Structures are given as structure tokens and as C-alpha cells.
Amino acid sequence: MAKRCSLRGKSTMGQSILLGVSGGIAAYKSVDLVRRLRENNHTVRVIMTSAAQSFVTPLTFQAISGHPVGCDLLDAASEAAMDHISLARFADQIIIAPASADVIARLAQGMANDLLTAVCLATTAPIAIVPAMNHRMWHNPLTQANVARLQQFGYAVWGPDEGAQACGEYGLGRMLEPDAIVKHIENKNSVTPIHSKTIVITAGPTREPLDPVRFISNRSSGKMGYALAAAAAHSGAKVILISGPTALAPPKNVEFISIETAAQMYEAVMQQIPHCDIFIGAAAVADFRPTAVAPQKSSKNDFSNTLALTANPDIIHAVAQFKPKPLTIGFAAETHDVKLHAMRKWVDKGLDAIIANQVGLAEGGFDSDVNSVDLYSANGATHFPQQSKTELAYRLIGWISNYYDKQTKDSIKNIG
Ligand code: C5P
């Protein structure tokens, strides 16, 4: 999100970067990393593990970052300054450099026994680890399994480098140089085809009231739609997230419109479409609503055996009828014959692409933090293997961004 305006009045330059420093001689290089990040207009806050403080003092990082350094999860003073939840919210990006074998192991277990690991559990920001350790520790199958597990949950791994090590040995395990780490960050923030484009995303379920107390709805946590909104915003898009009721906090730098019923979602979407470049329908919209809504709570004796229902508008189908229409991407959550149902919806609703996932399995789909999907478009099928919804969202936004770019170039060629 480097160098772009936010919709919620956040800084227009640079990112809010949270640097985690764990125990290792390479911690001294992270002092220079903070300096370079600040030169590139990023706001940097630092958290140190207790082992890190044996190598560099918190005062050094405080002086170079211009902010107090977080050291303790339960320190009353630092809690008052910025607790683990505030730090988790502050971060657009978390980088752990150096990441020791110990912190990697604790993160892979989902532990929260110090400030750094607690923040990593509480954040929705992308996290990158920059490992630094003895080459035999790095190659140890336990470390490799921990790293693989973190990758599976959406962590990026930058490095390590090969070279002479502090212990006098040679091998893979040196922390990347600050320059290389800065390059990783700036590449991530480089301008993408969807930079400054407007993306409207629907997410979560809708609720269709029967009376002021009861409603019918669909199962949906909203996690996939919210992750897509966060990833699109991080890629520089202007994102409008239109969501039904969920337990999630709206992602940073996203315009958030809260609705309850499918009719309200339809109205909200229709207002946005004339100014929108890309539409992603990730909401589980209720196909029907009760025909009559009682003004007061009905007694159970008021209900007969049948419930009269009226069809809701198909929002994404209406979006696909617009001329010119935005790039329109739908989701199909299916329990069986996934490909068949998804392809049918792709054609019937007039979509550019459909993202299909199987639901009703032990892992993936509703409520889960991980998912695997297949995307169908005029380009054929693309499989996205099981991974965290955060990481999957980045991959899907990457695909959508490239497809949007190609479509725009093709239409320019056709005019020419
Ligand atoms: O519910 P269904 O499987 O038909 O959903 C497929 C796609 O259509 C999803 O992208 C969903 O958000 C969208 N949809 C919609 N309006 C509806 C029903 C579904 O936009 N009324």
C-alpha cells in the first residue's frame, strides 16, 4: 500500500511496519534495517524478544525507530503505551528479522508466550520471517517442518542466505542483508495493475427476517471475502467491502458498508457499480426471503407447516448485466459435483470467472482459516491448493490483477 491514499484517513506515504527482533547476532543488522525503512517513508515500531535484548539494547531500537520498543507482554507501562492488540492493528506488515529457530518453532505452534508471538496471533497483517541461525539448525527437519507449517498458514519466508556464519562455519542460515529485505518489502508494494482501481467485494451472509427475532440465513463466516478485501487494499486498490453480519473487524484501509438483507446488499452494490472496475461476489446471499415479515415476535402457533418465500434478486447476475460491466468474479460453495455446478453458475450468471470450493468437509470452506479452490475462466482452470485464507486471498488477487490487465490490454487492441 505504499504511497497511496487511504479511504479512512490513514497516512498517504509508506506503510506501518512492525519489526520483530528475536535472539541472534544478526539483530545488529536490524538496526540498519529500521533506518532504511524509515528513509523509505515507512513508520516502524519494534518488538524485541528477551533473547534479542542480549544482543542489542531496546534503547538502540527506540532511538533509531523514534518509538518506544515493546519488550513484555505483561508490562503495565508498555500495555498502557500500546498493547498487543493495538500493535497487531497498527501493522500493515510484520517482519521478523532475525527470526531464530526458537521463535519460528513457537510461531508454528501458535504460542503466545511473549509480546511478539501474541501480536502475530492477533494480527490480520501479512507476516514475513527472515530466518537467521546456524546452518545445521536451519537444515534440521524440525525447523524445516516448522517453516513449512508457517508457509501453509500464509507466512512469507525471505532467505536465508548462504555464507560465512558468526559461529565460524559456512552454510545456509545467514540473515538477508537489510537491502535485500527492503527490496522484498518494496516489491510487495510495487504498483500492480489493480493499483488505484475500484474493487467492490461482497462478503458474509445475509439475514432475511421472519419477525424482529427470527431470520433465515446461510452459513458464512465472511473470512474469505474479508481476506480478499485486505489483500486488494494492500495491492493498492480502492476497496469497498459490502458485508452482512459477521464476527470480523473490517480490514484496514477499506470502505466498509454494513447491510443485513439481500435487498439492502443489492441496493448498496447497485450504487457502487457505475464507478467500479472489478466486482467480487464472495457473499453467501440468501436466495429467498420470507414473503411476509411480522412486525412483532410471532408465537410458534402462528407458523403453519409451510413458509411462503419470495426470491431475492441475484446481485452478481445484475452486476454482469451492466454495460460496460466491471470484471465480475463469483464464488460457488458446493457440497458435490463442484465443477459442474460452478461451471453452470459461471455461464448462467454471465461471470468472467468463478472460484469454486467444496464445503461440508472436515477442513476448508465455512468458518475455516484454510481453503483450497479451483478458478474457472476463459483461460481454463487454475487450482489453488489448501493454504490459509490470507495467503489464498493474495494469490487470487494476484490472478485477478493479471486477468484485469490482460483484458484491458486486449480491449485496447480491439479498439485499435
Ligand atoms: O448462491 P450461489 O451459489 O448462486 O452463489 C454464487 C455466486 O452468486 C456468489 O458469488 C454469490 O455471492 C452470488 N450471489 C449473488 N446474489 C444472490 C445469490 C448469489 O450475488 N442472490
Distance 249 CA to ligand 1 centre (A): 23
pLDDT at 302: 80
Phi, psi at 314, each rounded to 5°: -85, 105
**Which residue owns the Cα nearest ligand 1 atom 10?**
330
pLDDT at 360: 76
pLDDT at 287: 96
Distance 327 CA to ligand 1 centre (A): 16
Q: Which amino acid is at 191?
A: V
* CATH, range 16-189: 3.40.50.1950
Same fold? 16-189, 198-292+305-408: yes
The ligand 1 atom nearest the CA atom of 349: 8
Secondary structure letter of residue 249 according to DSSP: P
pLDDT tens, N- to C-terminus, the chain (416 residues): 333 323 233 333 588 999 999 999 999 999 999 999 999 999 999 999 999 999 999 999 999 999 999 998 877 665 556 788 889 999 989 999 999 999 999 999 999 999 999 999 998 888 999 999 999 999 999 999 999 888 877 788 899 998 888 888 888 999 999 999 999 888 766 677 898 899 999 999 999 999 999 999 999 999 999 999 999 998 889 999 999 999 999 998 899 999 999 999 999 999 999 999 999 999 999 999 999 999 999 988 887 778 899 999 999 999 999 999 999 999 999 999 999 999 999 999 999 999 999 887 766 656 778 889 999 999 899 999 887 888 789 889 989 998 998 888 777 666 65
Active site residues: 167
Please spell the DSSP secondary structure of 88-145, one letter per residue: HHH-SEEEEEEE-HHHHHHHHTT--SSHHHHHHHH--S-EEEEE---HHHHHSHHHHH
Domain boundaries, the chain: 16-189, 198-292+305-408
Q: What are the Cα distances from residue 117, in Å, to 99, 103, 126, 209, 322?
A: 12, 8, 14, 42, 47
**Which residue owns the Cα nearest ligand 1 atom 19?**
285
The ligand 1 atom nearest the CA atom of 269: 20
Q: Are 263 and 312 in contact (CB under 8 A)?
A: yes
**Which residue owns the Cα nearest ligand 1 atom 3?**
332
Distance 244 CA to ligand 1 centre (A): 13
Check if 283 has its Cβ closer than 6 Å to any atom of ligand 1. Answer: yes
| Separation of first and last alpha carbons in the chain | 33
The fold of the 198-292+305-408 domain, in CATH, is: Rossmann fold (3.40.50)
Angle at the Cα of 23 from the Cα atoms of 39 and 167, rounded to 5 degrees: 105
Q: Which of 210, 384, 235, 189 shows the shortest CA–CA distance to 304?
A: 210
Question: 514475513: which residue's cell?
Answer: 128
Q: What pTM, to 2 d.p., does this model score?
A: 0.69
Distance 102 CA to ligand 1 centre (A): 45
Check if 346 has its Cβ closer than 6 Å to any atom of ligand 1. Answer: no
Check if 314 has its Cβ closer than 6 Å to any atom of ligand 1. Answer: yes
- From the CB of residue 264, how many other CB atoms can be counted at a distance below 10 Å? 16
Crossing angle of the two packed helices 141-152 and 101-108, in degrees rounded to 10? 50
Distance 234 CA to ligand 1 centre (A): 25
Best of 285, 376, 396 for a ligand 1 pocket test (most atoms within 8 Å of beta carbon):
285
Check if 316 has its Cβ closer than 6 Å to any atom of ligand 1. Answer: yes
Check if 201 has its Cβ closer than 6 Å to any atom of ligand 1. Answer: no
Check if 273 has its Cβ closer than 6 Å to any atom of ligand 1. Answer: no
Q: Which of 260, 258, 279, 261 shows the shortest CA–CA distance to 270?
A: 279
